[in-house]
Amino acid sequence: MLRFIYTLLLSIVSPLLIYSLYKKKEGKPAFGRRWKEHFGCTPSLNTTQAPIWIHAVSVGESIAAAPIIKALKKQNPQQPILVTTTTSTGAEQIEKLGDLVEHRYMPIDFCFAVRGFLKATKPEKMLIMETELWPNTLHTVAKFGIPISVLNARLSEKSFLGYKKVQPIFNLLGKHLTHVCCQYKDDADRFVALGIQPEKVHVTGSVKFDIEITEQIQESGVILRKQLGEDRAIWIATSTHKGEDEQVLAAHRSLLHKIPNALLILVPRHPERFNSVFELCQGADFKTVKRTSNQTLTPDCQIYLGDTMGEMLTLIGASDICFMGGSLLGDKVGGHNVLEPIALNVPTITGPSYFNFSEIVNTLIAHEACVVTTKDNLSVSLLSLLTNQESATKLASNAFQFLQRQQGAIERTIKILKLTNGAK
C-alpha cells in the first residue's frame, strides 16, 4: 500500500521532475534521442557476461565511482561494468572512462521502467554510489534476485531525521540492501538506528581519500603555472556557486591592494554558469581571460576563468592557495570536497558552511591542516598564507599527512563486494 501511494504521488509530480531534468541550460549536454532510456527503453549490452551495474546519479557521484571502477577492472579486466547516471552532465563525466564501462541513463522510479532496464541489461549486482535510494527501483531490482549494495554511503543528521519521519518508507528501502559501506562510523550508526541490520553495515571510509595524482596531472599543473606566471601569487576559487562569486571577487579586489599582480583562477561549479560568471568579472572591471580562449596571459590579467570540464586538478596544481566554494552561502550548499587540493599539497581554505564535509573539515582543523574563514576575512586569510611561506607549507604538509592516513577505502570496499559474488 505504501509503495502504491508513493507511486501515485510520483506520477503526479513526475512532469515537474522530468521538466527540470530536460530543461535546456547553457553548457548542459542534451539528452538527444536517449531520453527514452529514462522510461526503460534501454539498448541491450554487447556482452554475454552479466555486468556489474553502478549507479552514480550525477557528476559528484560519477567522480567518486571512477576509482572503484578502475579497481574492479584491474581485479578482473574481462568484467563488464555498466554505469547509469540520471543527468547528462554525469554522463559526460562517465564518458571520460572510455572503454572501461558502458553508459545508460537511469530509468525513472517506475516499476515498468526499471523492469525494462533490467531485462535489457541483466546485471549481476547493483552498486549505488552514496545514498541514492528509490523505493520502486530497489523493490524491482530485489525481485529480480539482484543483490544491492550502497558504496561510499553518507547519511547526515538532517537526512537521518528526515527518514525517521517516514520510517515505514525507509523500512521498504532498507530490507532490500545487502551491504551498506559507510564513509564514517556516524553514518553507520544512523543507518543502524533506522533499522538496517548491523551485520549489513560496514565502515569502509571515504573513497574520496583515495585520490590518485598521476605524474601527468602534476606535470600539467607545472606547465600551466609557467604559462600563468611563476613569479606572481596565484590562488584558485573552485566550485563556486551563484551568489558566491561576488564575494570571491570582493576578496580578490582587496587582495590586489596588497599584492597588485595576484591572479585569481575562478572555476564555477556548474558549466552552464561559465559565461555569466565571465560577464560578472568583466562587469566588475577585472581583466579576465577564459581558459578556452587560449590567449597568452599578460601581466595585467587579474582573473583566469576555468571554463572547462575535467581539468580541476590541473588548475589547482598551478595555484598557491585553494579556496573551496559552496561554503559562503549559509545553509544552501554545505561546501565541497577539500581533499583534491590537499592531495596536490596546496594549502586549503574553506568558508564556514561546510556541513556536507563536516567530519573531514573538523578533523583537518584539529590537525592544523585547513583554514576556515568568513567572506569578510577571506582576503586576510589569503594574504596571510601568500606572504608566509612557512605557515602555508606547514598547513599543506599537515593536511597531506592526514590524507595519507585515511586512504584504503577502495580496497576495503572491494573486499566487502567479494562477499556478494555468486549471490543472486
What are the cell numbers at 374?
Answer: 568568513
Do residues 165 and 53 both lie within one domain?
yes
Do residues 165 and 232 both lie within one domain?
no
Do residues 144 and 201 both lie within one domain?
yes
At 191, is the secondary structure helix, strand, or coil? helix
DSSP bridge pairs for 153 = 182
Do residues 104 and 167 both lie within one domain?
yes
Do residues 179 and 226 both lie within one domain?
no
Q: How far apart are CA 364 and CA 323, in angstroms?
A: 15
| DSSP secondary structure string for all residues of 95-160 | HTTGGG-EEEEPPPS-HHHHHHHHHHH--SEEEEESS---HHHHHHHHHTT--EEEEEE---HHHH
Q: What are phi and psi of 231, to 5 degrees?
A: -100, 15
Instruction: Tell me the per-residue pLDDT of 221-261, one tens digit each, with 9 for 90 and over.
Output: 999 999 999 999 999 999 999 999 999 999 999 999 999 99
Q: Which domain holds residue 309?
A: 215-406
Q: What are phi and psi of 321, to 5 degrees?
A: -140, 145
**Mean pLDDT within 347-373:** 93
Q: What is the pTM of this model?
A: 0.72
Do residues 57 and 172 both lie within one domain?
yes
Of 25-39, 114-128, 302-316, 356-370, which range is least confident? 25-39
From residue 413, how far is each of 85, 354, 385 by CA, in Å?
21, 26, 37
**Mean pLDDT within 300-315:** 95
For the chain, the maximum distance between any two Cα atoms, rounded to a whole number of angstroms, is 67
Neighbour order of strands in the sheet with 148-153? 102-105, 81-85, 52-55, 125-129, 148-153, 179-182, 201-203
189 confidence band (pLDDT: 50, 70, 90): very high
CATH number of the domain that 111 lies in? Answer: 3.40.50.11720
Q: Inform me whether the pLDDT recorded for 359 exceeds 90.
A: no
Inside any domain, residue 311 = yes
Inside any domain, residue 423 = no
Do residues 67 and 200 both lie within one domain?
yes
CATH number of the domain that 278 lies in? Answer: 3.40.50.2000
At 91, is the secondary structure helix, strand, or coil? helix
- Residue of 26, 37, 61, 102 marked catalytic: 61
Q: Inform me whether the pLDDT recorded for 169 exceeds 90.
A: no
Inside any domain, residue 424 = no
Do residues 184 and 70 both lie within one domain?
yes
Number of folded domains that form the chain? 2
Residue whose grid cell is 587560449: 294
What are the cell numbers at 174?
Answer: 532498507
Do residues 222 and 96 both lie within one domain?
no
Do residues 37 and 51 both lie within one domain?
yes
132 counts as catalytic: no
pLDDT of residue 27: 64
Q: Inform me whether the pLDDT recorded for 305 exceeds 90.
A: yes
Q: Inform me whether the pLDDT recorded for 209 exceeds 60.
A: yes
**Mean pLDDT within 82-109:** 92
Q: Inform me whether the pLDDT recorded for 423 exceeds 80.
A: no
Closest CA to 252 of 236, 241, 240: 236
Q: How far apart are CA 143 and CA 190, in angstroms?
A: 26
Do residues 276 and 197 both lie within one domain?
no
Give residues with Cβ within 8 angstroms of 27, minimum separation 6. 270, 271, 272, 273, 274, 275
From residue 241, how far is each of 223, 237, 303, 335, 360 by CA, in Å?
28, 10, 17, 10, 21
DSSP one-letter code for 43: P
DSSP one-letter code for 310: S
424 confidence band (pLDDT: 50, 70, 90): very low
Determine contact, residues 254/341, Cβ cutoff 8 Å. no
114 confidence band (pLDDT: 50, 70, 90): very high
Do residues 149 and 238 both lie within one domain?
no
